[in-house]
A and B are shown apart, each in its own frame.
Chain A
Amino acid sequence: DIQMTQSPSSLSASVGDRVTITCRASQSISSYLNWYQQKPGKAPKLLIYSTSNLQSGVPSRFSGSGSGTDFTLTISSLQPEDFATYYCQQSHSPPLTFGRGTRVEIK
């Protein structure tokens, strides 16, 4: 099975900060990497699919990059509504696996 390692597990940031979250796969997954945002008590929301494609309706301050085993989610200017937990997920081969999540908190 492919293991997904996310870092950091949590971070504190201020509104307007640039935030970067990384995700590393235990083997190459090409570009089959998705990012989700989850707020407390809510279902996850797809932000980015296939490494860098912004899901419809997602603000352009979110972006993704990477390939192979190393991937990055960037929030260019953190907004109050972005405080949440973020998960990466590989869809290269089943079982599909998620990272353990990165909690973004208010500094």
Chain B
Amino acid sequence: EVQLVESGGGLVQPGRSLRLSCAASGLSFDGYAMHWVRQAPGKGLEWVSGISWNSNRIDYADSVKGRFTISRDNARNSLSLQMNSLRPEDTALYYCAKDTSSYYYAVDVWGQGTTVTVSS
């Protein structure tokens, strides 16, 4: 069974940093693109960032560009999201998600999410 488990969420003050991690199991991790998708309380889904299977293609939503950095370690089956200069509007449940393809196509596996709260 494919499983994605996020960690690293928590309460952080505006302007500070946080690093999210996602551990993948049950799949050939290096065969798929990966994504971070977030959902603010009571709101819809927002795609945050994506990374191709070999890290050659990395993309961000405009709302996080220049502040967030996505990375992956295929040897460790892990995905990360470094979040700097956090803002209250970054408060959300952050999902780690697997693509069906080595590039961007569709998301077929989601983690349970990790909650990030940005507040003073």
Give chain B nearest CB distance to A26 CB in angstroms. Answer: 14
Kindly supply a per-residue 1/0 record for chain B positions 5-39, scoring 1 wherever the CB is within 8 Å of any chain A CB and 0 otherwise: 00000000000000000000000000000010100
Q: Which of B82-115 contact A (CB under 8 A)?
A: 95, 100, 104-108, 110-113
Question: Closest residue of chain B to A85, judged by CB?
Answer: B44
Q: Are A87 and B106 in contact (CB under 8 A)?
A: no
Q: Which of A84-107 contact B (CB under 8 A)?
A: 85, 87, 89, 91, 94-101
Q: Are B95 and A97 in contact (CB under 8 A)?
A: no
Contacts of A49 in B (CB 8 A): 100, 105-106, 108
For the complex, is A72 an interface residue (Cβ under 8 Å from B)? no
Contacts of A95 in B (CB 8 A): 47, 59-62
Q: Are A46 and B95 in contact (CB under 8 A)?
A: no
For the complex, is B73 an interface residue (Cβ under 8 Å from A)? no
Kindly supply a per-residue 1/0 record for chain A positions 51-91, scoring 1 wherever the CB is within 8 Å of any chain B CB and 0 otherwise: 00001000000000000000000000000000001010101
Taking each of A45, A94, A101, which has the highest tally of chain B beta carbons within 10 Å of its own beta carbon?
A: A94
Given A95-B61, A97-B47, check contact A43 B95 (CB 8 Å).
Answer: yes
Contacts of B95 in A (CB 8 A): 43-44
Given A1-B62, A95-B61, check contact A101 B106 (CB 8 Å).
Answer: no
Question: Closest residue of chain A to B111, judged by CB?
Answer: A43
For the complex, is A34 an interface residue (Cβ under 8 Å from B)? yes
For the complex, is B45 an interface residue (Cβ under 8 Å from A)? yes
Q: Are B112 and A43 in contact (CB under 8 A)?
A: yes
Contacting B106 at CB < 8 Å: which of A34, A38, A43? A34
14 contacts between A and B (CB under 8 A): A34-B107, A43-B113, A44-B95, A44-B107, A46-B107, A49-B105, A49-B106, A85-B44, A94-B50, A95-B62, A98-B46, A99-B44, A101-B44, A101-B45
CB within 8 Å of A: which residues of B?
35, 37, 44-47, 50, 59-62, 95, 100, 104-108, 110-113
* Known interface pairs A36-B107, A89-B47, A98-B45; 8 further A-B residue pairs with C-beta atoms within 8 A, sorted by A's residue number: A32-B105, A36-B45, A44-B95, A55-B108, A87-B44, A91-B105, A98-B44, A100-B44
